[in-house]
Structure 1
Amino acid sequence: MRGNPFDDIEEMLDRVSRQVEEGMTAGGLQVPGSVPVDVADADDEYVVTADLPGYETDDIDLTLSDGTLRLEANRADETEHADGRYLRRERTKTSASRRIRLPDPVDEESVAAGFENGVLTVRLPKVSSGEDSRRIDIE
């Protein structure tokens, strides 16, 4: 005699939930075509580091709008090989993108980015909360 079929379903859902949690704690679930990134909170700024091997600076488009950093990279394929015809061709046009929502406002005028050895680093200074505040006298 079989047990309750709902027990099997509950066990399966628990297993899937554990796999998702393990993926999240291991650095997140990688989506094909997305750029792997690290986002660090360095007290006075956010530092976003993204791996973009094989791309050049001109291939990368970086924008910041409404607290969201948007990164898009497109690399065009070469139409011909300089030394003859291809026997195998696996490296074709590729593109990758990522959107990172920042938890706090940043100073958009002071954002700086650098690209070296296939690694993009974006520094986003936080807006100081003390600058816009003023003391209120109580009468």
Structure 2
Amino acid sequence: MRRNPFDNIEEMLDRVSRQVEEGMTAGGLQVPGSVPVDVADTDEEYIVTADLPGYETDDIDLTLSNGTLRLEADRIDADDYAEGRYIRRERTETSASRRIRLPEPVDEEGVAAGFENGVLTVRLPKVSGDDESRQIDIE
């Protein structure tokens, strides 16, 4: 019996996908444009901590929908330099995002977020409930 040549390619893609997932769960793989996060599971809540150096609270959009926490951050630096001209320009528009699937339902009304010294902390209390979408304010 003759094998389909695409079977080999599909097997290879499955193998690479598994390696990427294993690397991400082990913390050893950082995808460009992705926000590095820690997700802690206590008995009462999930605590998500994300590093966002150089961003302001207004640059960050945080939403929770269907058990997935979505974090998006956009920063646009000013084009003009008031005191002269640039000799080197590397800091320009920057955006980052991350989606975190939560293993259990959370109490969306009890979700709280804080941002201090470039570190975003989101507290998501565990409970069973409905899966409606909710915008989260960052304090």
Alignment TM-score > 0.5, same fold: yes
Query: Unaligned stretches of 5+ in structure 2?
Result: 1-11, 130-139
Q: Is the 8 A contact 2:24 2:30 kept in 1?
A: no
Which structure would you say has the larger Rg? 1
1:108 corresponds to which residue?
Answer: 108
2:49 corresponds to which residue?
Answer: 49
Query: Which deviations, in whole Å up to 9, do the C-alpha atoms of 1:52-90 show, x marking residues without a partner?
Result: 000000000000000000000000121101211111000
CA separation of 1:93/1:50 partners in 2, compared to 1, >3 Å: closer, same or farther?
A: same
CA separation of 1:73/1:108 partners in 2, compared to 1, >3 Å: closer, same or farther?
A: same
Question: In angstroms, what is the RMSD of aligned CA positions?
Answer: 2.1
Amino acid in the other structure paired with 1:113: A
Q: Which runs of 4+ in 1 moved over 2 A?
A: 19-26
TM-superposed CA distance for 1:38, in Å, is 0.3
- Secondary structure of 1:96 counterpart: strand
CA separation of 1:61/1:29 partners in 2, compared to 1, >3 Å: closer, same or farther?
A: same
TM-superposed CA distance for 1:28, in Å, is 3.6
Matched, 1:75 2:95: no
Aligned residues: percent identity?
A: 83
Amino acid in the other structure paired with 2:59: D
